Amino acid sequence: MKTLSSLSLAFLWAATTGTAEAQTSRLHAEVDQRTNAVRDKVVAWRRDIHEHPELSGMETRTAALVAEHLRALGMDVTTGVGGTGVVGVLKGARDGPVVALRADMDALPVTEINDLPFRSRVRSTYNGQEVGVMHACGHDNHVAILMGAAEVLAGMRSQLAGSVKFIFQPAEEGYPEGGGGAERMIKAGALDSPKVDAIFGLHVRPGPLGRVAYRPGPTMAAENSFQIIVHGKQTHGARPWNGVDPIVVSSQIVLGLQTVISRQTDITSVPAIVTVGAFNGGVRSNIIPDSVILIGTIRTFEREQRASIISRVTRTAEQIALSAGARAAVRVDSGYPVTRNDSTLTLRMLPTLVRAAGAAGVSIEPLATGAEDFSYFQERVPGVFVFLGVTPANQDWKTAPVNHSPLFFADEGALPTGVRTLASLAVDYLAAPRR
């Protein structure tokens, strides 16, 4: 039997490694070239979507725009996934794994006050109220970036070993009746046929222009919304002793909830938050109402901590109400899980992030108390979620209006970095040697 000598094996390994590295370099160069070529389209898409925002679950125009684009690129496209969701599948020239890229499409009930030629003037109805509609969280950028990445990768189809699944998701901000679009898309099969092996996503936010931030492990908080209805006894405002004042009781509950975090929760390892966001009750000055409604949010990073805080919020509200002769009905929704980046996958893809944004353009993200239903995808398959800084270079990003503000603004100079990041994550994941 003939065997290769050690020297021959070394030459063979070097030749193979050199060929692989050269191929990877060519792929990276092509991603850069195609990203530059699609830049103007991405800007135009972003402006169009920004000017025509749609609330959660109502993203019909945006979904149609996305579906038409993906079909024009020759993809297999499925619409109406989990509502208004769109899924496109790009099949490479050779067999291989399946990687998914996700963007969320919905806007918020916020009236824009930016002075932009493409600012939103859209009005709609939310929870029975007429509201302005704005992409105040930056999802217009996410959609445009992923549309650009789709065009980049479609042009490289012949060089891909595997498939890329493009997931355009509705209602990341949540449906008025509760829940979000990711969970519904998963139930509708968005991660199946073909089965996804890994998923990537990004979110724009205030930060140095074009900087990509990442974090292995827990990254964004679990979120639970709560509602507390305090039932008292209506009476004349001049004779409060004839009733039970739910406004006073609710005020005591709001103050009592502050101690759930400050005095009852160990936050030395990870933070936690309880916020009351609305306090509604009464119609005029001299009538003590029959009831008051409080709504708020709980943010946590650990499962045990989450259960403990929910229990304490419930107990605090119920017992404070009981002490005053009132009754508190507490409801806490199932919420969003922690957005938890797969640590192994994150570190594996770190060189990709550095190449896409530059060594000086990548940083580690501290824990973020915002929440994301991308977490549902990560519960099913390994996933990585990163952040893209979009504050203009001449502005201090630390004082820039944040997401959900009517003044939130994203500088389009960051869009190419977003496209290059998502396209490169897909290319590098598919090109990596399989174990």
Report the catalytic residues: 336, 412
CA-based nearest residue to 142, from 169, 121, 164, 112: 169
CA-based nearest residue to 353, from 217, 218, 219, 216: 216
CA-based nearest residue to 276, from 337, 340, 230, 243: 230
Cα–Cα distance list, 115 to 120, 270, 392 (Å)? 10, 39, 15
H or E element that contains 333: none
298 alpha carbon, distance to own chain's centre: 17
Residues across the chain? 435
The position carrying tokens 């073909």 is 194
φ, ψ of residue 8 in degrees (nearest 5)? -65, -45
φ, ψ of residue 370 in degrees (nearest 5)? -70, 165
CA-based nearest residue to 345, from 310, 382, 292, 393: 382
Which two tokens mark 238?
A: 């001049």
CA-based nearest residue to 346, from 221, 196, 201: 201
CA-based nearest residue to 270, from 368, 203, 342, 347: 368
Number of C-beta neighbours around residue 405 at 10 A: 18
